[in-house]
Structure 1
Amino acid sequence: MAIARFPETETAEVHAAEDAIVVLKRRMTGMELIRAARRLHELSVELNVHLAKACGFCHDCADVCPFEDMEEEIDLPGYLRKEAGISEGAKLCAYVNEEENSVTIAEAKHPYDLRDVPPEILDMFLSAGLCLGELDELLIKGDVVYEG
């Protein structure tokens, strides 16, 4: 706590979110708040850079990223979900069979993919030329990409 200049008698304010906990002084001067906000911003940048390095730059997609215009959701009418035994809230995936000119829609076996990434992160990846395909693969596999 000394490195954060917390006096021993200082009470802390805890902000908990999915996958992160932030501890702040309960009372801060303007400069303390500026330093805290700046460090949190720096940490955010560091984490995004770490993720970007795990994905790398896009090299195989020529001029157009196949993931750029990905639809947010694959839609399937309720009666077809019911008939297929797919729960109402389940994530769906589409598989293309070019030989038979058909598309198969099935329940996804993975909890996360690009559809779960906030738009501002996707925009950052696209504008930086980072590979959305690699990001999608990391999310689908659930690979560990950060060890602090």
Structure 2
Amino acid sequence: MKNNQKKAEQILQIPLAIQQRCGFIDAETLAVTAADGVCIIHKGELTALELIHVIVTLSELASDMTIHLAKACGLCNNCGDEKPEAGTECGCGNNSAEWVANCSLCHDLLDESQNIHIPDYLLEEAGISKGAKLEAYTDEDSGEITVVEADIQQDINDVPPCILSVLAQSGICLAALDELIMQESTIYGK
């Protein structure tokens, strides 16, 4: 534990060559934006052209990372039909974006009605935290439905809708994405 605390307390040092490349040497202030898994550092005061360069760099990085994610997921193959003419049976032709729209597995992942919603007071009574992911099981004999907190608390529902839309329109397999998220698979930087 002490070793982790020391690492957290270390000061980030940016090598001089990188500072020079970024134009940080003459900068009076630096701006830092931090979010889960990312830290962006740029000059605190930017001209219009410098700001454009930042936007271009971040856009290119986002594009490259989106392509990397898409490659890790692969194209939707319409629920396992990997034949080149796959999808023609459902009227999709060879348009992989239409495969996603017509793939029952990918479609169900985007269907909000598939999510379980339980009133907060019942969750509290059951000792389940508000906002927890839930799973349901049925007993065919009694017809009872049992709802429990899911073992896996992250899935495709944690992906912003704008990202899901881009991936679906590109024909990326959302079922594969869901699996990668639930398995916490490392797909970048290995």
State TM-score, norm by structure 1.
0.82
Q: CA deviation at 1:79?
A: 6.2
Q: Which residue of 2 aligns with 1:17?
A: 35
Q: Which residue of 1 aligns with 2:157?
A: 115
Ranges in structure 2 where 5+ consecutive residues have no aligned partner:
1-18, 80-86, 88-98
Q: CA deviation at 1:80?
A: 5.2
Per-residue Cα deviation, 1:49-102 (whole angstroms, up to 9, x for no partner): 11111100011335423233421741124565456543333211345789x988
In the alignment, is residue 58 of structure 1 matched against residue 59 of structure 2? no
Match of 2:116 among 74, 77, 83: 74
**SS across alignment from 1:31:** helix
User: Higher strand fraction: Structure 1 or Structure 2?
Assistant: 1
State TM-score, norm by structure 2.
0.66
Larger Rg: 2
Residue identity in the other structure for 1:70: D
Aligned residues: 147
Match of 2:135 among 68, 72, 93: 93
**SS across alignment from 2:20:** coil
User: 1:106–1:29: structure 2 CA closer, same or farther, 3 Å change rule?
Assistant: same
Does the CA-based 8 Å contact 2:132-2:153 persist in structure 1? no
Higher relative contact order (CA 8 A, sep 6+): 1
Q: Which residue of 2 aligns with 1:106?
A: 148
Per-residue Cα deviation, 1:34-58 (whole angstroms, up to 9, x for no partner): 1111111111111111111110001
Alpha-carbon distance in structure 1 between the residues aligned to 2:145 and 2:119 = 15
Does the CA-based 8 Å contact 2:31-2:41 persist in structure 1? yes
Alpha-carbon distance in structure 1 between the residues aligned to 2:20 and 2:161 = 38
User: Higher helix fraction: Structure 1 or Structure 2?
Assistant: 2
CA RMSD between the two structures: 2.8
Q: Which residue of 1 aligns with 2:172?
A: 130
